[in-house]
Amino acid sequence: MKHGKKMTKEEIERKKKKIIRIFLIILFIIALAIGAIIANDYIIFDKNEKINLVINNNNVTANLKNDVLVEDDVIYVSKQDISSYFDRYIYLDESLNKIITTYEKKIATIGFEDKTMNVNGSDVRIYATCKKINDVIYLPISEMKDVYSIEPNYIEDTKVVTLDSTNRELRKAMVAKGAAVKSSTAFISKTLDRVEEGSYVIVISKTDDGWTKIRSKNGIVGYVKNDVIVNEVKIRDNMEEEKQIQGKVSMVWDFYSQYVNAPDRSGKSYNGVNVVSPSFFYINKKGDFKENVGSKGLEYIEWAHQNGYKVWPMISNSYETDMLETTSTIMNSFEKRQALIENIVNACVEYKVDGINIDFENMKKEDKDMFSRFIIELTPRIKEIGMVVSVDVTAPDGGDTWSLCYDRNVIGHEADYIVFMAYDEYTASSSSAGTTAGVNWINANLNKFIKYDEVKPEKIILGIPFYTRLWTEKTDGSLKSSIVNMKDVNNVIPSSATKEFKEDVKQNYVEYQESGATKKMWIEDIQSIKCKLDVINEYQLGGASFWALDREDPDVWDTVKNELSK
């Protein structure tokens, strides 16, 4: 066995001294670091190598899909990141080669060459356009501050871009003494920045243990002790819009043909109603926007407002048969959608109404996303003039042109209200007799709205029918039905017929023989309407809408008022 050379005593001593020197140096460095931390020395551990993005005092840089760019004083953010933080529905219209983006009360189109941006129908001169770099589209967000309601700022020294929403609260304070801005409130934490006496900081929030979260003039977000800042003042309040309807919506559709005048409602009032929706507007087979207001319609609006009712006129695409192609053509063209939107906005302003009710039915399944685009683009224009958007949809499961043509998640996210037309569970074309609107069916579909489509309950208005169907089953197996208005039920069924309350559908049911045929009816009456209104309270929905005025038992309005005021 071989052994290494044995060290002398002198060599051992020299090695010991060397180890001690290294150990002391390490201790000295650690002591300096701790001293610097305790003394709040200015230490930056994370110097920005790329531009950081701070949105409303949150540093979102780590979550960005692409880098933020600053060129010639213009701040660029990628389309993907704008989708994450401002407009989830932003898209490139390839036929126009322009980006279409919406946010709150604005819709804007911006291209890659033309230094003109269109905002809510008006052209605005800009100094920078969109650009594409390695297949990534960038938008000049600093040119779009009015679109996204932001104050953009680039701090070159620290390579930080800040974007502050102009509709959010802003608080500032003066720095009473120089101090380090810490990464957390822990005893030992990183020093991110240093604030100087007499400078100003943005105040974000306060902790329970004596710290204030601030943003320094360098755009750095961190913590200082409460006594570091003084003279805190509110520069800007949260701009929260008051809802047009306080409490639950109680809307009634007032349907009349485009060939007749608006009904005369003078001298009448409806207990518990706060919104009326007359059928003022429609599109015809040629795709033209048409209105049927006239002098009688003006009198109608005046009557409604005098009674304290908001007016949300209905616009329909279904007054003429086979509107599939007409509706499809409009929905698939940005220019045609915008022309329709412009007509709707102008009519709402001209007639001084309070909102709009979109009732587009019988549409192609493949046009689902484009109908959503129509709602996405319409809503900011209507909100800009202080009005409300409600959109009528059918139950989630059904035919292509009846049910699968709606994206309820998008509509429920964008519109103020989504109206579930909870009727025609069994239609004239059904192969068996059944109820028009059973509560069990309504509950099942509401769960789909809320759980699957993720629509907030407070945005759902439950559409309730003031009609039912009388079914006739003949001995030869044939089946037909006829609509019976709620007010006429007791005039249609014989007095000898026995009503039986069906617990599953929450309706009275009658069955009797007449002229050799079996008659069946699931009755809509005050009891069944109350049960449907109970559903609204159970789910805490946004309210109810009734189809349609003049079909009801007049006594129902007291029940409506009592139930919806709960």
Mean pLDDT of the chain: 94
What radius of gyration do the chain's Cα atoms show? 33
The pLDDT assigned to 392 comes to 98
How much is the pLDDT for 20? 76
What is the predicted pLDDT for the residue at 449?
Answer: 98
Place of tokens 């009275």: 508
Same domain flag for 471 and 416: yes
**Distance from C-alpha of 159 to C-alpha of 50, rounded to nearest angstrom:** 7
Task: Note the Cα 360 to chain centre separation in Å.
Answer: 19
pLDDT at residue 85, as a whole number? 98
Residue 255 lies in a domain: no
Residues 344, 423 within the same domain: yes
pLDDT at 69: 98
Structure tokens at 433: 């007799």
**What's the confidence (pLDDT) of residue 38?**
47
User: Does 451 lie in the same domain as 352?
Assistant: yes
User: For the residues 434-443, what does the mean pLDDT come to?
Assistant: 98
Pair 424, 557 in one domain: yes
Pick from 195, 145, 186, 162: nearest CA to 60: 162
The amino acid at residue 209 is D
| DSSP assigned state of 458 | G
Q: Which among 162, 194, 211 is the end of a domain? A: 162
Residue 123 belongs to a domain with what CATH number? 3.30.457.10
pLDDT of residue 48: 75
Q: Is residue 269 part of a domain?
A: no
Per the CB < 8 A criterion, the answer to whether 201 and 216 are in contact is: yes
pLDDT at 14: 74
pLDDT tens digits along 485-503: 999 999 999 999 999 999 9
> Is 155 contained in some domain?
yes
Please tell me the pTM assigned to this model.
0.91
Burial string for 394-426 (b: 16+ CB within 10 Å, else e) reads bbbeeeeebebbbbbebbbbbbbbbbbbbbbbb
pLDDT at 210 over 60: yes
Residue 297 lies in a domain: no
Confidence of residue 318 (pLDDT cuts 50, 70, 90): confident
Q: Counting beta carbons within 10 angstroms of the beta carbon of residue 132, is it exposed (0 to 12), middle (13 to 18) or buried (19 or more)? A: exposed
Closest to 250 in 3D by CA, of 566, 551, 558, 542: 542
Pairing of strands 275-278, 249-254: parallel
6 pLDDT higher than 90: no
Among 162, 194, 215, residue at a domain's last position: 162
What value does the mean pLDDT take over residues 298-306?
A: 98
Residues 71 and 194 in one domain: no
Q: Is residue 524 part of a domain?
A: yes
pLDDT digits (tens, 9 = 90+) for 398-430: 999 999 999 999 999 999 999 999 999 999 999
Q: Is the pLDDT of residue 31 over 70?
A: no
Q: Is residue 68 part of a domain?
A: yes
**Residue 26's pLDDT is what?**
77
Q: Tokens 């319409």 sit at which residue? A: 378
Backbone angles phi, psi at 419, to 5 degrees: -100, 115
How many structural domains compose the chain?
Answer: 3
Question: What pLDDT sits at residue 40?
Answer: 42
**Residue range of the domain that includes 81:** 52-162
Same domain, 412 and 359: yes
Q: Checking DSSP bridges between strand 69-71 and strand 74-78, what pairing results, if any?
A: antiparallel
Contact between residue 181 and residue 193 where contact means Cβ atoms under 8 Å apart: yes
Strand partners, 484: 468
Yes or no: say if 521 and 471 are a contact pair by the CB < 8 Å rule: yes
In this model, does residue 548 exceed pLDDT 50? yes
CB neighbours of residue 341 within 10 Å:
21
Q: What percent of the chain has pLDDT above 70?
A: 95
User: Residue 7's pLDDT is what?
Assistant: 66
Same domain, 144 and 174: no
- DSSP assignment letter at 286: T
What is the C-alpha separation between 459 and 409, in angstroms, rounded? 11
- 560 and 435: one domain? yes
Average pLDDT over residues 199-218: 96
pLDDT digits (tens, 9 = 90+) for 338-391: 999 999 999 999 999 999 999 999 999 999 999 999 999 999 999 999 999 999
CA-based angle 403:459:350, to the nearest 5? Answer: 90
Statement to judge: residues 197 and 147 lie in one domain: no
pLDDT at 444: 98
Query: Using CB atoms within 10 A of its CB, is residue 375 exposed (0-12), middle (13-18) or buried (19+)?
Result: buried
- Between 239-243, 251-255, 286-290, the lowest mean confidence (pLDDT) is in 239-243
- The verdict on residue 440 lying in a domain is yes
Give the residue from 103, 127, 162 where a domain finishes.
162
Regarding whether 527 and 391 lie in a shared domain, the answer is: yes
Name the nearest CA neighbour of 217 among 233, 201, 193: 201
Domain of 178, CATH number, reads 2.30.30.40
pLDDT of amino acid 285: 94
Task: Report the catalytic residues.
Answer: 361
Q: Are residues 199 and 130 part of one domain?
A: no
In a domain, 58, yes or no: yes
Same domain, 524 and 375: yes
Examine the pLDDT at 437 and tell me if it is beyond 70. Answer: yes
